[in-house]
Amino acid sequence: MAYFILKRLVQSVFVMIAVAFLAFSLFRFVGDPVSQMTGVETTVEDQDRLREGLGLNDPFVVQFIRFSSDLLRGDFGFSYRTRQPVAEMITNRIPATLELGVVALLISLIVGIPAGVYTALRPRGIATQLILMTTLVGVSIPTFVIGIMLIFLFGVQLGLLPTFGRGGTVHIGSWESSLFTFDGWKSLILPAVTLGVYQLTLTMRLVRAQMMDVMRSDYIRFAMARGVPLHSLYFRHALANTMVPVITIIGLQFGGVIAFSIVTESVFQWPGMGLLFLESIRFVDIPVMGVYLVVIAFFFVLVNLIVDLLYFAIDPRLRVKEDV
């Protein structure tokens, strides 16, 4: 077990190094950092002095190591556009994105898993056909269109919910949260649903496919043949076995949630990291782009490490070694 976890850790570190390298290459090769940092009136001598000061004349490897160790210490450099420290810009934006992402993921799980189980157990029911049809349309509508539709319906036509921004927020330490005010929740609903719908359809279809596979397995047929009560058969036997592969995908989906929050944040003017990233792309603000990448990859790797640990909790075949 220790070996397995260590192996995954090494893989995660590899992914992080690769992404850091990507970010570094961005910084180093896309445009000239010095000319970005200085104005037109700066002399060539000043530029050269800055270049030397930044260590840009050092060997490539040395630069990359310095870049990585800066990242590790939380020194993310300065934005070309606002001249602010990137670390500050990103950390201000993290709470908004994380709250949006987590609520969206929860919506997708709370609705998606039961719907998947239901449609797997009643494959020929009318409700199942309806749900399946709806989800097919669901995966086919781009996230931004769902956002527009919700804005149009709940914001414009019914005037029930706000259509942009985070509403009232509360500061808990440095964490700015919209989860503690009624107004904040009202603002969160539309973006979270928009972001959750796509993940929901994926979750549902996956749970359904896995559940149908499990329901055909020998051990379910055997449990059926010895009269195990149906509720236990469905949930204790079948659903538990379904969750092993489903958890992997949910881990991967978290990346999708964060990525699509770029779109959602843009539609709802939600002040999160995604919006920041979009702006930085428009202005070719390389340091922000690079750091955003690193942060996203870090979240992704972290979630997937947690998923690996969940495996051990669920599957005894990994936990308990062979003893005949």
**41 touching other proteins, by CB under 8 A:** no
Choices 70-78, 95-103, 144-152, 184-192 (CB under 8 A): range interacting with other proteins: 144-152
Among 54, 102, 179, 278, binds other proteins (CB under 8 A): 278
**49 touching other proteins, by CB under 8 A:** no
How would you classify residue 176: left for phi > 0, otherwise alpha for psi between -120 and 50, otherwise beta?
beta
DSSP 38: S
**315 touching other proteins, by CB under 8 A:** yes
- Cα distance between residue 242 and residue 222, in whole Å: 17
Q: Of 24 and 277, which CB lies nearer to other proteins in the complex structure?
A: 277
Among 35, 69, 134, 217, binds other proteins (CB under 8 A): 217
Q: How many CB atoms lie within 10 A of CB 231?
A: 8
Binders of other proteins among 223-252, rule CB under 8 A?
A: 223-230, 232, 236-237, 240-241, 252
Choices 41-49, 106-114, 187-195, 285-293 (CB under 8 A): range interacting with other proteins: 285-293
Distance of closest approach, residue 221 Cβ to other proteins, in angstroms: 7
Distance of closest approach, residue 174 Cβ to other proteins, in angstroms: 26
Query: How many residues line the site for other proteins (CB under 8 A)?
Result: 79
- Closest by alpha carbon to 196, among 266, 135, 244? 135
Asked if residues 238 and 78 have their Cβ atoms less than 8 Å apart, the reply is no
| Helices 240-268 and 86-121, packing angle to 10 deg | 130
Structure tokens at 103: 């609520």
Binding mask 12-31 for other proteins (x = CB under 8 A): --xx--xx--x---x--xxx
- Closest by alpha carbon to 283, among 275, 272, 294? 275
- Cα distance between residue 152 and residue 198, in whole Å: 19
**139 touching other proteins, by CB under 8 A:** yes
Asked if residues 139 and 256 have their Cβ atoms less than 8 Å apart, the reply is no
**126 touching other proteins, by CB under 8 A:** no
Beta strands in the chain (DSSP E): 170-172, 175-177
Asked if residues 311 and 244 have their Cβ atoms less than 8 Å apart, the reply is yes
Among 255, 305, 307, 310, binds other proteins (CB under 8 A): 255
Asked if residues 151 and 163 have their Cβ atoms less than 8 Å apart, the reply is yes
Among 76, 187, 266, 270, binds other proteins (CB under 8 A): 266
**153 touching other proteins, by CB under 8 A:** no
Among 62, 153, 156, 172, binds other proteins (CB under 8 A): 156
Binders of other proteins among 170-209, rule CB under 8 A?
A: 209
**56 touching other proteins, by CB under 8 A:** no
For residue 46, the SS3 value is: helix
Among 62, 145, 170, 306, binds other proteins (CB under 8 A): 145
**9 touching other proteins, by CB under 8 A:** no
Q: Of 184 and 297, which CB lies nearer to other proteins in the complex structure?
A: 297
Distance of closest approach, residue 69 Cβ to other proteins, in angstroms: 21
> What sections of 154-285 are H helices per DSSP?
182-215, 218-225, 230-231, 240-268, 273-282
Helices (H) and strands (E) in the chain, counts: 14, 2
